[in-house]
Structure 1
Amino acid sequence: MLEVAIKVENLKKAFGEKVVHNGVSFEVYDREIFVIMGPSGTGKSVLLKQISGLITPDDGKVIVYGKDVFSLSEEEKLKFREELTYVFQGGALFDSLKVWENVAFFLIENKGIPEDEAKEKAKYYLSLVGLEGTEEHYPSELSGGMRKRVAIARALCVNPRCIMFDEPTSGLDPVMTAILDRLILKLKNDLHKTCVVVSHDIQSAFRIADRMAILWNGKIVEIGTPEKIKLSENPVVKQFINGLPEGPITVGYER
């Protein structure tokens, strides 16, 4: 029986009068790649940030490896940050710090690990993402794809069980997108990480996903393997995967 890594129960979130989520529920299994997709503006990134504890929902629960994310003490939250890490869409690197300092930041600032030891760990994780020799560079000296890989190395540096990716291939060319796809597959297959990926890139999603969820109009309207999603008779899903990821969904679907 597969272990449940993340359980989202009836999640609801609104900003003013705009309802973003209206009862979102699903499970993510340990050591799988779970991709959340949907048209722009459906709240995919907001959902990811709620799972990560960065945004508090109005109602519902998020259980990560048996722990209620929004009932954790401050000490438990710090430990939680080591179990589940977050890779922001733009990388969110510190421009004034060298690459290795970005990767080792949590180790030095929160764990009190000496700089020499932290630097060695940073070099190791940079090598895992194919960035040997970039340790002394600054983020501004790297390409967009390289900066995203630095952010992944930083996420790996605390040896988490689960990594959340917010649009990891956004703004990348097809070659770099394929490199990022292979890296995420490597994290699952070789390092046994659970990966939750928010993406608008249909081709990338079908390459990497074990299971996929389609988010629309505040709810999950379909969930399953890539093969199941491709064969779905749901009109929302069919229109979305047939080449209209950024356009409005024109079929009706009740909230």
Structure 2
Amino acid sequence: MEIAIKVENLKKRFGNKVIHDGVSFEVYDKEIFVIMGPSGTGKSVLLKQISGLITPDAGRVIVYGKDVFSLSEDEKFHFREELTYVFQGGALFDSLTVWENVAFFLLENKELPPEEARKQAEYFLSLVGMQGTEDLYPSELSGGMRKRVAIARALCVNPKCIMFDEPTSGLDPVMTAIIDMMILKLKNELNKTCVVVSHDIKSAFRIADRMAILWNGKILEIGKPEDIKRSQNPAVRQFIEGLPEGPITANLGYRG
């Protein structure tokens, strides 16, 4: 099985606060890998390091054979086409229409004529069920719709891997299920590798091929969903069962 991402002994601190203390794991090509853990454990910081948006203090990140933090400027540009990032809030440009947001990379970097860029944007919007919204502005969309537009924008780059930062955060159960099905579609129909940061336990177990539990700067456990469910680690058990009491909960900083 081909390794898409290899994280080796990653360390990161902000001031005196240790965020990651020797994090290591591998993500296989064309799998959905979910990183879970309580709030405040550095899940999003980990995702941004893998994406090259934050530089670690030590360790390496290898993406499709390339050392992310040894890339030249030209190599970084092409790296952005292999791996894209869907931010928690969507991070859409308020002054641009939906189709302009989706086609932004094509317009700015590929210099496609607007007519051709719009056609591609319409295609990727149709893949996420957002056809007919091309001329709307982000302010006219619901939270779930903005997240789907952000996914269409990521697809417009035609990446091998997509990173999702809390894709279901703040969504109702119906929209959460829609986003989950969309991520499954990306893997099953478009052969994308997906790395998902989430503290939504139901969503994570619904989509993951494998999952990692991040706590106290380290990976507690990695495995398939059924392996994690059978874990005998008390911290892992308490997190996935959502128990609201007891000393382990306090240590984890669990928030339901």
1:193 is aligned with what amino acid?
K
What residue in structure 2 maps to residue 139 of structure 1?
Answer: 138
**Change in CA separation of 1:251 and 1:134 when aligned onto 2, cut-off 3 Å:** closer
Q: 1:56 — aligned with what?
A: 55
Question: Which whole-Å CA distance do the structure 2 matches of 1:68 and 1:204 have between them?
Answer: 31
Post-superposition offset of 1:113: 1.4
Following superposition of structure 1 onto structure 2, how do residues 162-177 of structure 1 map, counting pairs within 5 Å? 162-177=161-176
1:164 Cα deviation from its structure 2 partner = 0.1
Distance 1:222 1:41 in 2: 18
* Whole-angstrom CA distance in 1 between matches of 2:120 and 2:154: 12
- Distance in 2 (CA, whole Å) between partners of 1:247 and 1:54 is 37
Change (3 A) 1:188 1:243: same
CA drift of 1:67 comes to: 0.2
Whether 2:108 is the aligned partner of 1:109: answer yes
How far residue 244 of structure 1 moved from its aligned partner, in angstroms, is 4.4
> What is the TM-score of this pair, normalised by structure 2?
0.96
Aligned equivalents of 1:93, 1:122: Cα separation in 2:
14
Unaligned residue ranges in structure 1 (runs of 5+)? none
Partner of 1:225: 224
Q: Which amino acid aligns with 1:16?
A: G
After superposition, give the CA deviation of every residue in 1:199-254 in whole Å (9 maximum; x if it has no partner).
0100000000000000000000000000000000011101100114899844779x
1:123, 1:247 → 2: CA distance? 51
- The aligned counterpart of 1:12 is 11
How much has 1:79 moved relative to structure 2? 0.3
Letter in structure 1 aligned against 2:61: V
The answer on whether the counterparts of 1:223 and 1:229 sit within 8 Å (CA) in structure 2 is yes
SS in 1 for 2:168: coil
Amino acid in the other structure paired with 1:237? V
Contact 1:169 1:177 in 2 (8 A): yes
Where does residue 25 of structure 2 map in the other structure? Answer: 26
Equivalent residues in 2 for 1:1-255, closer than 5 Å: 2-244=1-243, 249-250=248-249
Count of residues paired in the alignment: 252
Moved more, 126-135 or 237-246: 237-246
Measure, in 2, the Cα distance between the counterparts of 1:245 and 1:171: 21
**Structure 1 residues 245 and 108: CA distance shift in structure 2, 3 A:** farther
Change (3 A) 1:93 1:249: farther
CA drift of 1:111 comes to 1.6
Structure 1 residues 139 and 247: alpha-carbon distance in aligned structure 2, compared to 1, 3 A threshold: farther
Give 1:194's aligned amino acid: T
Give per-residue Cα distances to partners, 1:185-204, cap 9 Å, x unaligned.
Answer: 00000000000000010000
Give the alignment's TM-score, normalised by structure 1.
0.96
Secondary structure of the 1:110 match is helix
Secondary structure class of the residue paired with 1:236:
helix
Q: CA deviation at 1:115?
A: 1.1
Q: 1:246 to 1:11 in 2, by over 3 A?
A: farther
Q: Distance in 1 between matches of 2:247 and 2:135?
A: 45
Q: Which runs of 4+ in 1 moved over 3 A?
A: 244-253
